[in-house]
Chains A and B, each alone.
Chain A
């Protein structure tokens, strides 16, 4: 019972790096979208923000996906039994 609980806590803590990386990726995406909206509202030029978003957002999402892929892959690739 005690081991089962410890196992659950460890599994939750193991998710932390993945959660942090996804939070950064999603946070930055939200920030860039907010900046583009702000520049539209202020009748500023959003072109640079759009340009940078086209590079930065896919990069951040790819990195978060790679980490998730490794996390899931390691769990699935464990020895049976």
Chain B
């Protein structure tokens, strides 16, 4: 049997998580399994005791679970959307980050989609959507959009994996049967390469509008109601911007962690963080613009119900979350990404944005339900251990999904890196020549 170094050449390090997982892998696996197991216990307890074990009350019918649902689905925008845009625009720096991003999408979509079922209390009632569904309800638009996106993201993740899976099949170590099945007989012939490229191109084009549609439709869950501060025409683009913003932040956090634990410094270089950091900065400013616009148009007409929610967020019980959101989504990232654009600065900014975007979802959902238009007394909401535990379980499941993927498949697209070395440099050179006036100019 060949050693990984001999078989995979200079990219052998990319296969280390598969062939040399180390003690850390099993420790991490145990920790995440324990947290996820605790969350499963909390959910089973909730199933038998009812939603009374949560902080849900009248009139706050939606809270933590729906906040997490919107948050996780938002993160999913990072992967497939960013990867598709970078591939379509032939951004050469994309090569080491596309798969890292695509895995996030598939894993968080699965976790996010679980949350509305958890929120129902009785999961069997999910069947009612299929038996008595009405397409007048945005909930069904959501179901359609998320199913389509999950399917598209999975296919889009799988197609570029085929050549790498074939490489592992040919190495002939453990799980050879799995790699033989999943590689679909790929042998790297020109005809096969052409087929994969064509399939990927079609998926790239399809995935972008599908990704945008998902968070548009999620915003409609709120905007199609007449709840104060939900009924807004800019909610769809506001949600899409927020989703790309949080997704980019989580992608950067994941990249920093992977770089550290799998020693991928030669693949995930500072330049990749700087480019994504610039995207994060732009998204932060865009998010600030949308937030300003949203709150100004609420404040100016002084509609009483809306103003009650407005002040609840600004100076009421949710002020700490609202101003925390402004600080972590706008002030800190803009300062850090403008003045301290190294990996450490970008990492801190990304952590802040990940927290801030969760707070944003909380700020959108809870205060509007606390002060409804209906004649309820003003409510209050405090999450219980069940809700917090299930949220932590969701994060543990995300880490677990990522860890197991890393144990089976390379986290960086090996064939794309090799293709970049062999053809990318010449292709970029030719492309730059084609942008310039038709004169013989040597481009370095």
A-B contact pairs, 16 of them (CB 8 A): A10-B180, A13-B181, A16-B181, A25-B151, A28-B147, A31-B130, A35-B135, A46-B135, A49-B135, A59-B148, A63-B155, A67-B155, A70-B184, A77-B191, A77-B192, A78-B187
Interface size class of A (residues with CB under 8 A): 35 or more
* Interface residue A44 (Cβ < 8 Å from any Cβ of B): yes
Q: Which residues of A (19-46) have their CB < 8 Å from a CB of B?
A: 21, 24-25, 28, 31-32, 35, 38-39, 44-46
* Interface residue B210 (Cβ < 8 Å from any Cβ of A): yes
Q: Give the Cβ gap from B128 to chain A, nearest Cβ, in Å.
A: 13
Q: Give the Cβ gap from B88 to chain A, nearest Cβ, in Å.
A: 16
Total A-B pairs in contact (CB under 8 Å)?
98
Q: Mark B149-164, 1 if CB is under 8 A from A, else 0.
A: 0011001001100100
Q: With the chains together, A46 CA to B184 CA distance in Å?
A: 42
Contacts of A78 in B (CB 8 A): 185, 187, 189, 192
Contacts of B189 in A (CB 8 A): 77-79
Contacts of A17 in B (CB 8 A): 158
Top 9 closest A-B pairs, CB basis?
A73-B195, A77-B191, A49-B135, A77-B192, A70-B199, A48-B135, A74-B184, A13-B181, A66-B199
B184 near A10: Cβ-Cβ < 8 Å: no
Q: Give the Cβ gap from A57 to chain B, nearest Cβ, in Å.
A: 10
Binding site for B on A (CB under 8 A): 10, 13-14, 16-17, 21, 24-25, 28, 31-32, 35, 38-39, 44-46, 48-49, 52, 56, 59-60, 62-63, 66-67, 69-71, 73-79
A76 near B148: Cβ-Cβ < 8 Å: no
B202 near A62: Cβ-Cβ < 8 Å: yes
Closest A-chain residue to B207, C-beta based?
Answer: A63
Q: Give the Cβ gap from A18 to chain B, nearest Cβ, in Å.
A: 9
* Interface residue B405 (Cβ < 8 Å from any Cβ of A): no
Q: Which residues of B (347-402) have their CB < 8 Å from a CB of A?
A: none
Q: With the chains together, A77 CA to B191 CA distance in Å?
A: 5
Q: Give the Cβ gap from A33 to chain B, nearest Cβ, in Å.
A: 12
* Interface residue B186 (Cβ < 8 Å from any Cβ of A): yes
* Interface residue B418 (Cβ < 8 Å from any Cβ of A): no
A70 near B159: Cβ-Cβ < 8 Å: yes
* Interface residue B332 (Cβ < 8 Å from any Cβ of A): no
- Given known A-B contacts A28-B147, A59-B206, A74-B186, A39 and B135 have beta carbons under 8 A apart: yes
Q: Give the Cβ gap from A24 to chain B, nearest Cβ, in Å.
A: 6
Interface size class of B (residues with CB under 8 A): 35 or more
Contacts of B152 in A (CB 8 A): 59, 63
Q: With the chains together, A60 CA to B132 CA distance in Å?
A: 22
Q: Give the Cβ gap from B236 to chain A, nearest Cβ, in Å.
A: 16
Q: With the chains together, A73 CA to B210 CA distance in Å?
A: 25
* Interface residue B321 (Cβ < 8 Å from any Cβ of A): no
* Interface residue B203 (Cβ < 8 Å from any Cβ of A): yes
Q: With the chains together, A71 CA to B42 CA distance in Å?
A: 42
Closest A-chain residue to B189, C-beta based?
Answer: A77
Contacts of A76 in B (CB 8 A): 191
Contacts of A31 in B (CB 8 A): 130, 133
A24 near B141: Cβ-Cβ < 8 Å: no
Q: With the chains together, A27 CA to B159 CA distance in Å?
A: 23
Contacts of A24 in B (CB 8 A): 147, 151
A52 near B141: Cβ-Cβ < 8 Å: yes
Q: With the chains together, A25 CA to B206 CA distance in Å?
A: 15
Q: Which residues of B (171-229) have their CB < 8 Å from a CB of A?
A: 177, 180-182, 184-187, 189-192, 194-196, 198-199, 202-203, 206, 210
B144 near A28: Cβ-Cβ < 8 Å: yes
Q: Mark B9-47, 1 if CB is under 8 A from A, else 0.
A: 000000000000000000000000000000000000000
* Interface residue B260 (Cβ < 8 Å from any Cβ of A): no
Q: With the chains together, A10 CA to B185 CA distance in Å?
A: 10
A69 near B199: Cβ-Cβ < 8 Å: yes
- Given known A-B contacts A63-B152, A75-B184, A78-B189, A70 and B144 have beta carbons under 8 A apart: no
A60 near B180: Cβ-Cβ < 8 Å: no
Q: With the chains together, A60 CA to B130 CA distance in Å?
A: 18
* Interface residue B263 (Cβ < 8 Å from any Cβ of A): no
